[in-house]
């Protein structure tokens, strides 16, 4: 019996069939087909679904290669069928701490790079292991510090203030705040605009204050993707990026439109609004700066923090130093 497995007859027939269908389809689109007035008539006559035909047709147009008309392997590549075991273990370790999928993605990104699972994959892993819902223990862990040492990761953000905050001053002012992810030691500076240079100097002053007063030296800093703090393609020419580079601080970026990833500094804004800013007016910019400084000293040294089991940020820093 003749062995015709290598003569590619089936492939040729398949290509010829689809080339014929594409020719017919293009005649219909040009209103030149002798029998079919509408494309749906063409689909019905040849017994092909619109989705299937368009898939093959677009594939052929993009490559201009007849082999693109052959059936392709279905399903994802082998690496994406299931997350690799060692990556899955890392996800589970973080999820047990009560961290959400977006934060897990941000935490693993520097280590895993392109192999980092997406938030939806992280959710699927959590669900597979029964961790998609927070247990009481996980909620308790969620309130605890995630970073293991002071300065391991700082969170920085820019916040705009209302125009009626300063009496007889309708100008827009902004706050630049920096908080340590481990101890929650924080500092904030008032700026008159949100230009990168202004934000850079405010961040530099906050870094110096936290270092001089509490001994915090940052290894990495997380920000959003705003143009005042982020320019991945122009690190040398961007003031904020250049400052971090010169100081040896690694810059991490949150996922776009996911401020929850930078939740610690977002929570600081809420605290500042409730305790200092809301329903309050200040006589001058100097008056506001003075009140802000006094509050930040109180926040760092006297105010009990729920995420630190009732300890103050300074107490947490001192306990870490003692260990």
pLDDT digits (tens, 9 = 90+) for 180-192: 988 999 999 999 9
Using one digit for the tens of pLDDT, what is the confidence trace for 308-320? Answer: 888 999 999 998 8
* pLDDT for res 239: 93
Residue 46 tokens read as: 């040849």
Using one digit for the tens of pLDDT, what is the confidence trace for 287-302? Answer: 999 999 999 999 999 9
* pLDDT for res 203: 95
User: What pTM was computed for the model?
Assistant: 0.59
Is 252 in contact with 110 (CB distance < 8 Å)? yes
Pairwise CA distance, residues 293 & 290, whole Å: 5
Indicate the range of 75-84, 205-214, 215-224, 301-310 predicted with least confidence: 75-84
Full strand arrangement of the beta sheet holding 154-160: 186-191, 174-180, 154-160, 220-223, 250-253
Q: 31 or 321: whose pLDDT is higher?
A: 31
* pLDDT for res 74: 58
* Burial of 280 (C-beta count, 10 Å sphere; 0-12/13-18/19+): exposed
For residue 164, the tally of other CB atoms under 10 A from its CB is: 9
What percent of the residues of the chain are helix, what percent strand, and what percent coil, each to the nearest 5?
A: 55, 10, 35
Pairwise CA distance, residues 319 & 323, whole Å: 6
The dihedrals phi and psi of 206, each to the nearest 5 degrees, come to: -65, -40
Pairwise CA distance, residues 56 & 22, whole Å: 9
Pairwise CA distance, residues 103 & 95, whole Å: 10
CA distances for 181 relative to 38, 60, 236, angstroms? 62, 52, 27
Flag whether pLDDT at 80 surpasses 60.
no
Mean pLDDT, all residues of the chain:
86
CB within 8 A of 305, min separation 6: which ones?
Answer: 184, 311, 312, 313, 316
Q: 161 or 133: whose pLDDT is higher?
A: 161
* pLDDT for res 199: 95
Is 88 in contact with 79 (CB distance < 8 Å)? no
Confidence label for 175 from pLDDT (cuts 50, 70 and 90): very high
> Taking phi first (over 0 means left), then psi (-120 to 50 degrees means alpha), and beta for anything else, what does residue 248 get?
left
Pairwise CA distance, residues 112 & 121, whole Å: 14
Using one digit for the tens of pLDDT, what is the confidence trace for 119-151? Answer: 889 999 999 988 888 777 766 655 544 566 888
For residue 162, the tally of other CB atoms under 10 A from its CB is: 12
Crossing angle for the helix pair 50-63 and 39-46, to the nearest 10 degrees? 100
Flag whether pLDDT at 77 surpasses 80.
no
Pairwise CA distance, residues 110 & 132, whole Å: 24
* pLDDT for res 145: 41
Flag whether pLDDT at 1 surpasses 60.
no
């Amino acid at each position: 019996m003749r062995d015709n497995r290598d003569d590619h007859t089936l492939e040729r027939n398949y290509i010829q069939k689809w080339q014929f269908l594409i020719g017919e389809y293009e005649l219909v689109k040009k209103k030149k087909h002798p029998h079919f007035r509408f494309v749906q008539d063409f689909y019905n006559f040849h017994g092909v679904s619109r989705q299937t035909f368009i898939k093959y047709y677009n594939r052929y147009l993009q490559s201009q290669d007849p082999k693109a008309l052959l059936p392709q392997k279905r399903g994802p590549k082998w690496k994406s069928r299931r997350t690799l075991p060692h990556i899955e273990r890392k996800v589970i370790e973080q999820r047990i701490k009560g961290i959400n999928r977006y934060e897990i993605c941000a935490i693993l990104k520097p280590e895993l790079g392109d192999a980092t699972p997406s938030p939806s994959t992280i959710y699927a892993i959590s669900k597979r292991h029964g961790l998609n819902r927070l247990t009481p223990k996980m909620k308790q862990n969620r309130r605890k510090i995630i970073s293991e040492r002071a300065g391991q990761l700082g969170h920085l953000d820019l916040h705009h203030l209302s125009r009626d905050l300063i009496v007889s001053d309708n100008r827009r002012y902004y706050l630049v705040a920096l908080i340590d992810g481990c101890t929650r030691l924080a500092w904030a500076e008032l700026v008159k605009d949100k230009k990168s240079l202004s934000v850079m100097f405010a961040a530099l002053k906050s870094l110096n204050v936290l270092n001089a007063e509490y001994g915090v030296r940052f290894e990495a800093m997380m920000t959003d993707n705003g143009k005042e703090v982020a320019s991945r393609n122009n690190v040398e020419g961007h003031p904020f990026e250049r400052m971090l580079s010169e100081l040896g601080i690694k810059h991490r970026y949150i996922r776009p439109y996911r401020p929850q990833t930078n939740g610690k500094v977002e929570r600081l804004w809420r605290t500042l609004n409730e305790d200092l800013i809301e329903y309050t007016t200040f006589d001058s910019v100097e008056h506001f700066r003075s009140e802000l400084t006094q509050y930040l000293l109180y926040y760092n040294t006297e105010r009990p923090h729920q995420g630190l089991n009732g300890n103050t940020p300074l107490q947490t820093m001192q306990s870490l130093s003692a260990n």
